[in-house]
Structure 1
Amino acid sequence: MDSGRSGGRNKMEEQQPGLTRDTIDPHREIDFKTIDHLQFEELCYELVEAAGFRSLEWRRGGADSGRDIQGTLTVSTGLFSEFEELWFFECKHHAKGVGPELLASKFIHALAENPRHLVFFISSFPTTGAKRWIKEISARSAFKIHIVDGEHLRAVLRNHPGIVEKFFSSKLQTVAAAARRSWQLQGLVPATSSLIRFAQDVELSSAAAIDKALLFIWTRRLYNDFEAEDDVWRPMISMMAELENSSEKLWPSCRRVRFWETKDNNYGHSFVAAEVELTIRGVTMLGTYCFERHDGVGIEVFVAQKTLQLFVRYVETGADQEVDQVLQKFFSDNSSSPEPALSSTVSRANER
């Protein structure tokens, strides 16, 4: 793990020295293999509807006469009266390339209806032969043929997070997204029971980077609410080290606003969690910070509440001394407001 982590860090440093922002892509897991052909048709239907098409018909199953979906689009040029165009949409849900034989039959069926446009949604990609066929047939077709392949479709879906969440989010991802929004907008932290379930979920390894980071800092923030045997108290340094995107120390650029929790024991495991203002290149961000060390190595994490910007630094050596330095600095920082008790700063709204 160390060699892979170091390689990733060096590559990132070559691109942009110093601190770099982790690119959070909540839709990175758009995998068409996880849905069946009917779900793929439904996804395409919702995209067509969102694009402004009307009089939609979804021909589910059976003979579709050259289209799975048909609809009309109103065209307005500003020069004369509006008019409507008839569009046919054919959905091809395949793991491998789609050849011309799978497209030609749909084209022949469409000829009888003579739409203005025929669109092929393809979850994979058209083969070289299919591309050649499309080019040749388009030159003499009375209607225009469009191809939306898997790569293009993923790009379009990034503008429709609701559709992505409906078809591709697991239960864990859905719950995590809701918790993330509650914290981002209102500062609400999930109940301890919810965090325990999240930490024990078998799908945690595939969760988004931002959700792993939030789980890490929330469990440290609510340390006193957990039992010693809870799984969340197994050090998460290994999991967080895989998210490393910064090579520079964060804590010298932080101003502590309030402490959430600190922990130190005789088993080589300690941490400090606090609300801080982090200033990077003249930009100040309010968020939650945590430094955790275990057996001489450490992890430093900051998440900006407003933007969800994430910084993660792995500390391979000197973590024991560094956590003491963080505490000394944070204790010397002057808070802009009186330090509230932990019980008054953590919402229990999610315990309902």
Structure 2
Amino acid sequence: MPENTERDWVLPTEIPFSELKGKDLEECVYWLLDAMGAKDLEWRIGGAGGGAADGGRDLEAHFFEPDEEGELRPQRWWVECKGRSGTVESQEVKEACNNALAYEGIDRLIIATNTQFSNPTRDWVKEWQRTFSRPRVQLWDRAHLERYLSRHP
């Protein structure tokens, strides 16, 4: 008979989000995408210092989603992680969105943070999305990360 082993559960609300910045936030999102079923998952670790050459994304992955006819079609996701102690700067989100336009074939741009986005930033993304249908932009704040981590531990 197997021994009773104690399981260590991680409750998303107990994750120290205020300390989850830089490489730690990227790693957390990397493993979340893996648990969500990402394929060809690539962590684009840049060089030292700010302005690391990651090409506008920290993570890149493919997901397979059904198209209008029900056929599975690969979706190319770019993920930018913004670990902060306060609200993510609006300019950072704008730069990420506009940078993604320079590359062909990006279906979804995720901007993930351990904190939150301001309402004006969210409004700007909605307006930007009306002009540019692709890539589809999603803002993953702390609440989103907690929810996704609950579904995909």
TM-score range (shorter-chain normalised) is 0.7 to 0.9
Higher RCO by CA contacts (8 Å cutoff, separation 6 or greater): 2
Maintained 8 Å contact 1:89/1:118: yes
Residue 108 of structure 1 and its aligned partner are, at CA, apart by 2.0
The 1:154–1:140 alpha-carbon spacing in structure 2 relative to 1, beyond 3 Å, is: same
Give how far 1:126 is off.
0.5
Contact 1:118 1:146 in 2 (8 A): yes
Match of 1:40 in 2: 25
Normalization by structure 2: what TM-score?
A: 0.80
Q: 2:113 aligns with which of 117, 122, 126?
A: 122
Aligned residue in 2 for 1:150: 142
**Counterparts of residues 1-352 of structure 1 (less than 5 Å):** 27=11, 28-61=13-46, 62-77=52-67, 79=69, 81-114=71-104, 115-141=106-132, 142-161=134-153
Contact 2:67 2:73 in 1 (8 A): no
User: 1 or 2, which has the higher helix percentage?
Assistant: 1
Query: What is the identity, as a one-letter code, of the residue corresponding to 2:119?
Result: T
CA contact 1:58–1:68 (8 Å) conserved in 2: yes
Higher radius of gyration, 1 or 2 = 1
C-alpha distance 105-78 of structure 1, shift in aligned 2 (>3 A): closer
Q: CA deviation at 1:36?
A: 3.5
Deviations 1:259-311 (A, max 9, x none): xxxxxxxxxxxxxxxxxxxxxxxxxxxxxxxxxxxxxxxxxxxxxxxxxxxxx
Counterpart-to-counterpart distance in 2, 1:104 and 1:45: 23
Relative to structure 1, the CA distance from residue 80 to residue 135 in structure 2 (aligned partners, 3 Å threshold; closer, same or farther) is closer
TM-score, reference length from structure 1: 0.37
Cα distance, 1:143 vs. partner?
1.8
Instruction: Extract unaligned runs of 5+ from structure 2.
Output: 1-8, 47-51
How many angstroms apart in 2 are the aligned matches of 1:41 and 1:103?
16
